[in-house]
Amino acid sequence: MAERTYHHGNLRAALIDAGLQLLEEGGIEAVGIRSAARVTGVSHAAPARYFPTATSFLAAVAAVGYERLAAALAEAVNSAEDALSAFRAAGLAYVAFARREPNTFRALTHPSLADKSQHPDLLSASNRAFDVLRAAVVRAQADGHVVSAAPAALALTAWSTVHGISALIVDDQLAAKGYADDPDDLAEEVLATLFLGLRPTEG
Amino acid sequence: MAERTYHHGNLRAALIDAGLQLLEEGGIEAVGIRSAARVTGVSHAAPARYFPTATSFLAAVAAVGYERLAAALAEAVNSAEDALSAFRAAGLAYVAFARREPNTFRALTHPSLADKSQHPDLLSASNRAFDVLRAAVVRAQADGHVVSAAPAALALTAWSTVHGISALIVDDQLAAKGYADDPDDLAEEVLATLFLGLRPTEG
DNA sequence: TCCCAATGTTGACACTGTCTATATTGGCGG
DNA sequence: CCGCCAATATAGACAGTGTCAACATTGGGA
């Protein structure tokens, strides 16, 4: 901060902060190399040393978004009482995160970041968030609340479900598609259906 | 086509065709007002009369994508034997569409189109696709294969599920998340879980 | 202390979307 | 059949973007 000289100190982190701020304020379209440089008070080409391309900058910002998501999921899981309610809390936390930070949520699945193999940090952050859900599945299996199939497949199913409903809620598609009630109710209903489908056959 | 004069005839449709071509070839990032004009062989500002803003052009292209999706769903539903397999076929057709036209699929949920209320044609096309799924739900209810709750909520649940898994498959996230098998198998598994969750309680 | 490698800056280029002013022309009333 | 007008397309300009190459600055180790 304050009265910086020629060398910034930790420009990389400062740029990512600026990117997060731009993201929150103006959506993903507002996140750019030059605007981030401007916010940071640095020349327009300075970011190039840390982010060779505009997409790589976006990826770095989105990676922080995934970290936040992972943290939100982990907190929900940890503050739950039993394995099933932990799994359930993770699902609700996913939807809650999307609603709380819609612009961040949308950034996570931005088309230009579709190929995550180009952005290792983004990929690992994404997987870290997923692993929280996967761990919750494994524990719910151990407690007999979830059918004992491959955890990866079950976690992918759960991820799909909560991601899909989050996308619909965040983009405000409910009313247009004939659902007039509280989005929270829908999230609960969707999760209930999911859990019913994941239940072990005849306990 | 061929030797056009000053007035094009149906520039609007030609531009959308160009947009679809650009989309298929280079992804959504390649779809722009100027590039579409270039492909169409028209001046860079000509599209402005039909598409006042770049986003509105994108919306028109995406609307065609939703129409295609709706058609694919409808065909799957219509060529099925009974109500339950029609519902199931619709789900598989959704995933198949996403895999067949990944760039089109990604365009449908592009962040800049998140607010569909700004783009009536896009909204109605999107709803048309959704209605195919909703009708399938209703029929499956009538045949006793699906719990009798509000169709809108159930259809939203189904949409969420198939959309989520499609997004994961299209962005090639399966292997990175520990699923090494055939994506088709996963799609079937996810649908099976969905149907299990949607089944009427004890028949 | 000196120097060099790491870090920022400056300037330029091609590209984009958007605006305003201008040119072209098909089709209508006379 | 003619002439004009409104619809349609063009031309030019401007601000903004990402990216590149040449240059300036400086901190920290030999």
Tens digits of residue pLDDT in A76-114? 999 999 999 999 999 999 999 999 999 999 999 999 999
Q: Are residues B64 and B145 in the same domain?
A: yes
* Separation of alpha carbons A201 and A197, rounded Å: 9
Assess whether A158 and A138 both reside in one domain: yes
- CB-side exposure of A1: number of CA atoms within 13 Å? 1
Does A149 map to a domain?
yes
Q: Of B27, B52, B77, at which residue does a domain stop?
A: B52
State how far Cα A13 lies from the chain centre.
Answer: 20
Domain boundary residue, one of B28, B52, B76:
B52
A58: nt with nearest C1' to CA: D18
Same domain, A18 and A30: yes
Decide: B147 and B164 in contact? Cβ < 8 Å.
no
A21: nearest Cα among A101, A95, A96, A93: A101
Within its chain, how far is the Cα of B108 from the centroid? 6
Which residue on chain B is closest to A187 by alpha carbon?
B157
| Mean predicted confidence (pLDDT) in B3-32 | 91
A179 and A190 fall within a common domain: yes
Which class for A94: exposed (0-12), middle (13-18), buried (19 or more C-beta within 10 A)? buried
Residues A94 and A148 in one domain: yes
- Å between B9 CA and D10 C1'? 16
Burial of B7 from C-beta contacts in 10 A (0-12 / 13-18 / 19+)? exposed
Per cent of chain B over pLDDT 90 is 94
CA torsion through residues B97, B98, B103, B104, sign: positive
* Residue A54, CB, strand C, below 7 Å: no
Q: Are residues B124 and B155 in the same domain?
A: yes
Q: Is residue B15 part of a domain?
A: yes
User: In this structure, is residue B203 part of a structural domain?
Assistant: no
What domain range is B131 assigned to?
59-198
φ, ψ dihedrals at B175, nearest 5°: -60, -45
Residue A203 falls within a domain, yes or no? no
Q: How far apart are CA A57 and CA A113, in angstroms?
A: 11
Domain count, chain B: 2
Residues A64 and A36 in one domain: no
| Residues of B with Cβ-Cβ distance to A150 under 8 angstroms | 179
Identify the pLDDT of residue B1.
43
B63 and B152 in one domain? yes
How many interface pairs between A and B have CB atoms less than 8 angstroms apart? 159
Token representation of residue B133: 């799924």
pLDDT confidence band for A62 (50 / 70 / 90): very high
Q: Helix, strand, or coil here: B80? A: coil
What pLDDT, in 10s, does the model give residues B131-152?
999 999 999 999 999 999 999 9
pLDDT of residue A7: 79
- Tell whether B108 and B182 lie within a shared domain: yes
What CATH number does residue A44 fall under? 1.10.10
Residue A72 lies in a domain: yes
Does one domain contain both A138 and A170? yes
